[in-house]
Amino acid sequence: MARSQEARLPVLKTYKMYVGGQFPRTESGRSYLVRSADGDALANACRGSRKDIRDAVRIARAASGGWAGRTAMNRGQVLYRVAELMEGRFDQFTGEVAIAEGLEYRAAREVVGRAIDRWVWYAGWTDKIAQVLGSSNPVGAPYFNFTIPEPTGVVGVVAPEHSSLLGLVSRLAPVLAGGNVAVVLASETRPLPSITLAEVLATSDVPAGVVNIITGHRAELVPPLAAHVDVDAIDGWGIPDDLRKAAEEAAADSVKRVARRPRGVTDARFDWLDDGAAERPEWVAAFLEMKTVWHPIGL
């Protein structure tokens, strides 16, 4: 006798993390239930651990030199290719954003379109930021003195919690445009668009290890990311208020650079669709170090 389809329980997919260009399971073997904005069960996501953070940082550090050593023009080409691939998954991203954030289809399409456009915008800054920030400095001696920006290194990105795709792109793209590599903590409650972005990155020209995306509970993952001595900087936009002080103190122990939300700005109420607020070359500059070089005249 055939079983009634109404009595069948759906098998929810368990989404893996993205580390080193591959999709591993968490070493802890744990997962957690991901729900839609309406509370419906959507899927399971890996519940990352401290060791997953350590592994991702180690892999990011190994990839750092190669990515920073590419020409700015080549990095721009690679990042533009990511936007091309996102365009090919427009409908998939739209559906995931709509379900995750409780948006109507038309509103979700605008969010996805803006995310792709923002990726292109930051890709365009890769070979321009040096001209904006760099300088030739006057000196009272027979020398040239130049100031040039260089990548900070490994950046821990705590993605915005309430903007699962557009907010993530807005914080990740400037980090990569400056030549840095990233270990990303995805939105805890809305991780699925970030995993689809990981699938795009895996099939793009972005080298393995340049972007690593960990899913899980922020209370468990933010402290080890902030305290890791091989992480050079933290983008703390998505750090919950109850973890912020401890995370910044942990980052200070190893003299990390920390970028945080402006005073009075909340993650939940920030308008990521506002290009004037969310497309800023200062967000590229936040993770660049200024290097000054002296060179004798005539040599």
Residue 4 pLDDT grade (very low, low, confident, very high; cuts 50, 70, 90): low
Residue 211 pLDDT grade (very low, low, confident, very high; cuts 50, 70, 90): very high
Would you list the domain boundaries of the chain?
15-265+282-296
Q: What is the pLDDT of residue 145?
A: 85
- Mean per-residue pLDDT over the chain, rounded: 94
> Using CA atoms, how far apart are residues 80 and 84, in angstroms rounded to an integer?
6
Q: In one letter, which amino acid is 189?
A: T
DSSP string, 246-289: HHHHHHHHTT-EEE-PPTT--TTT--TT-HHHH--HHHHHTTEE
Give yes or no for residue 32 having a pLDDT over 60.
yes
Contacts of 94 (CB under 8 A, 6+ apart): 105, 108, 109, 112
- CA-based Rg of the chain, rounded to a whole angstrom? 20
Q: What is the pLDDT of residue 208?
A: 98
Q: What is the pLDDT of residue 9?
A: 79
What mean pLDDT is predicted for residues 69-86?
98
Supply the pTM of this predicted model. 0.93
Give yes or no for residue 3 having a pLDDT over 80.
no
Give yes or no for residue 98 having a pLDDT over 80.
yes
Please indicate whether residue 293 or residue 205 has the higher confidence score (pLDDT): 205
Give yes or no for residue 29 having a pLDDT over 60.
yes
Contacts of 33 (CB under 8 A, 6+ apart): 12, 41, 44
DSSP string, 147-161: EEEEE--EEEEE--S
Q: What is the pLDDT of residues 121-172, one digit of tens each?
A: 999 999 999 999 988 888 888 888 889 999 999 999 999 999 999 999 999 9
In this structure, of 3-12, 69-78, 171-180, 241-250, the range with the lowest mean pLDDT score is 3-12
Give yes or no for residue 276 having a pLDDT over 70.
yes
Please indicate whether residue 2 or residue 210 has the higher confidence score (pLDDT): 210
Identify the residue whose tokens are 């960990």: 214
Q: What is the pLDDT of residue 33?
A: 97
Q: Regarding the domain with residue range 15-265+282-296, which homologous superfamily does it belong to in the CATH classification?
A: Aldehyde Dehydrogenase; Chain A, domain 1 (3.40.605.10)
Q: What are phi and psi of 239, to 5 degrees?
A: -70, 125
